[in-house]
Structure 1
Amino acid sequence: MFDGIIRFADRCRACQLDLSRFNVGDGPAAFLTLVIGGLMVGLAMWLEIAVQPPFIVHVILWVPLTIIAILGGLRFSKAALLRAEYRQSAGEAGRRDP
C-alpha cells in the first residue's frame, strides 16, 4: 500500500486498486502532530518534575521518540483514512469517474 515511509503507491500490489484516486490530504498529519506533541510534552514535564535530568537527556529521549511516533502513527492514520474513503465511496466534490 505504501511506496516509502508515508507515501502511497500508485496501485496496490495485491489487488491492483488504483490508490492515486484517493486523497487523504494533510489532515492526519496535523491532527497526529498535535496529539503526539501534547503527549510528549506531558511526558517530558513529568520526567522533569520526577527526576530532573540534564537537558541533553530530554533531547536524546524525546526528539527521536516523537519522530518515530509521528511517522508510525501517520502510516496507520493515513491507511485508516484511505480505508474509510474506500468503504464510503468518498471522492472529491464535483469529480465524476467515467
Structure 2
Amino acid sequence: MFKGYLSLRESCPECGLDYSFADPADGPAFFVMCAVGVVGMIAFMIFEFTVHPPVWVHFLVTFPVLAAMCLSVLRPFKGWMVSEQYFHKAEEATFISVGKHGEGYGWRGQAERAAKAAARDKD
C-alpha cells in the first residue's frame, strides 16, 4: 500500500487496485494528534506527579516519546483512512441542488410541496 513512509503507491501490487480514489489529506494526522495528545498528557501527568522530575527531564523524555508515538501510529491510521474511503466509496462532494434553490420542503407546507413536486415529476 505504501511506497515510502506515508506515500501511497499508484496501485496495489497484489490485486492491482488503483489508489487514485484515496485522498486522506490531513485526516490521519488529526486523529493521531488527538489520540496521542490525550494519552501523552495522561502519561505526562503521571510522570510529573510520581517522579517530580525537573523541566529538562521532561524535554528529554516527553517530547521524544510523543514524537515516537505519533510517528508509530500515523502510518496505520493513514492505511485505515484509505480503506474506509474504499469501503464507503467516498468521493468529492457534489451539489445536486444547484439551480433548485427554494424547492426544499422546509418546515411549513411540506405535504403540499411534496404533492406538487410528485405531480410535476409525473408530467
In the superposition, the TM-score normalised over structure 1's length comes to: 0.81
- Cα deviation digits, residues 49-94 of structure 1 (max 9, x gap): 1111222222222222211211221111111111111122222224
Say whether residues 1:63 and 2:63 are aligned partners.
Answer: yes
Q: What CA distance in whole angstroms lies between the structure 1 residues aligned with 2:34 and 2:41? A: 10
Structure ID, larger Rg? 2
Calculate percent identity across the aligned residue pairs: 32
Q: What CA distance in whole angstroms lies between the structure 1 residues aligned with 2:4 and 2:53? A: 36
Say whether residues 1:9 and 2:9 are aligned partners.
Answer: yes
Task: Give 2:24's aligned amino acid.
Answer: V
Structure 1 unaligned regions, length at least 5: none
* SS, match of residue 7 in structure 1: coil
Structure 2 unaligned regions, length at least 5: 95-123
Q: What CA distance in whole angstroms lies between the structure 2 residues aligned with 1:9 and 1:67? A: 25
8 Å CA contact retained: 2:21, 2:86 = no
Does 1 or 2 have the higher relative contact order (CA < 8 Å, sep 6+)?
1
RMSD in angstroms over aligned alpha carbons? Answer: 1.6
Written as runs of structure 1 = structure 2, the 5 A alignment for 1:74-93 is 74-93=74-93
8 Å CA contact retained: 1:11, 1:19 = yes
8 Å CA contact retained: 1:33, 1:70 = yes
Task: Give 2:4's aligned amino acid.
Answer: G
> Paired residues, what number?
94
Say whether residues 1:23 and 2:23 are aligned partners.
Answer: yes
In the superposition, the TM-score normalised over structure 2's length comes to: 0.67
Q: What CA distance in whole angstroms lies between the structure 1 residues aligned with 2:77 and 2:65? A: 18
Q: What CA distance in whole angstroms lies between the structure 2 residues aligned with 1:68 and 1:20? A: 29
Task: Give 1:54's aligned amino acid.
Answer: P
Task: Give 2:54's aligned amino acid.
Answer: P
